[in-house]
Structure 1
């Protein structure tokens, strides 16, 4: 089992104190003690992809396709992607909340750090793929993950952190401190194939 990034980073940013401060009024101490904050691991494929299905279309990925082997399906890319992310230090931070007793990932979010030439070769963070399992929503886990990724971004020297979200999520991010600015443009390439 390999971690996507070193768990020591989470200690450096005081992740346990942050979790306690944000969710203390929402969940009991017993529930909180059963939640572990950690980096995504190579063995998380089933639980992580199951959670991502609550966010978007993931497709079906069996263990053999995810772990390895030579398959020509598009899902073998998932296994390769984890290893490729690991080979890009200081770039990919996928943070998960795990229910310890069930080994289920109940929430996750990603910070991608982009290196820039502008602003004296600064770093910019992008938050992606925030998702909380439906049965755990309303407990400030989403807020915690965003604030934890912001803390990681600060620790890693990002000059700003941005994200894209649907209109109905704007208020959530504004309450955390994000501001609406400019427009986002995109071109879907997968629909043109």
Structure 2
């Protein structure tokens, strides 16, 4: 079985250092086997940080299965990637790639770390953009990404992690310890 956390392409640039993932204590995870690889992943699937080259590996196409992405050139993707990378400790986008499938990105989740003045200048984590490619669903990759990003948030010292979800998927998140605390998030959209 291959490692569940893959090393980043040392020739490319990662959004964050993969040692952050490798150093996690995954013993609390339901699906991540302790030190023995992830049982629902095949040998060709591995998790790693988002890389600059993932534009060519289908990252935006994957995101379009979740929400509207838009059609924009590689240069815009790379400029945005550089802005995110220039804020170390804030953006942690994890991807699952199919190594045998040409490094195609088949799953992703992003952890955004928010610095707060409350709770003694604490940090809050927020889960964003959890999506698995439609061809790879029912392999528990969503659960795997959720557990991995949750442990990443815990390992980075956040006092809590939150996420927005539609009522119909609340049950999925509750299986992993997320609760509805009765808070309602309101939105004001400035663009479609």
* Structure 1 residue 14, shift from structure 2 partner: 4.8
Residue 35 (str. 1) matches residue 34 (str. 2): no
Q: For 1:120-139, what per-residue CA distance to the aligned partner results, in whole angstroms no more than 9, with x for missing partners? A: 00000000000001111111
Larger radius of gyration: 1
Gaps of 5+ in 1: 69-75
Q: Within 2, Cα distance between the matches of 1:185 and 1:60?
A: 28
Report the aligned-residue RMSD.
2.0
Give the aligned partner of residue 189 of structure 1: 190
Does structure 2 conserve the Cα–Cα contact (< 8 Å) formed by 1:23 and 1:141?
Answer: no
Q: In structure 1, which of residues 37, 52, 59 is the aligned counterpart of residue 63 of structure 2? A: 52
Q: Within 2, Cα distance between the matches of 1:125 and 1:97?
A: 20
Residue 104 (str. 1) matches residue 104 (str. 2): yes
> TM-score, normalized by length of structure 1?
0.84
Number of positions where the alignment pairs a residue of Structure 1 with one of Structure 2? 174
Q: For 1:45-85, what per-residue CA distance to the aligned partner results, in whole angstroms no more than 9, with x for missing partners? A: 13100111111111223xxx21x3xxxxxxx2x32210011
Q: Within 1, Cα distance between the matches of 2:129 and 2:32?
A: 23
Question: Where in structure 2 are the equivalents of 1:58-77 lying within 5 Å?
Answer: 58-61=69-72, 65-66=73-74, 68=75, 76=76
Q: Within 1, Cα distance between the matches of 2:61 and 2:146?
A: 20
Give the aligned partner of residue 150 of structure 2: 150
**Higher helix proportion (structure 1 or 2):** 1
> TM-score, normalized by length of structure 2?
0.84
Does structure 2 conserve the Cα–Cα contact (< 8 Å) formed by 1:13 and 1:155?
Answer: yes
Moved over 6 A (4+): none
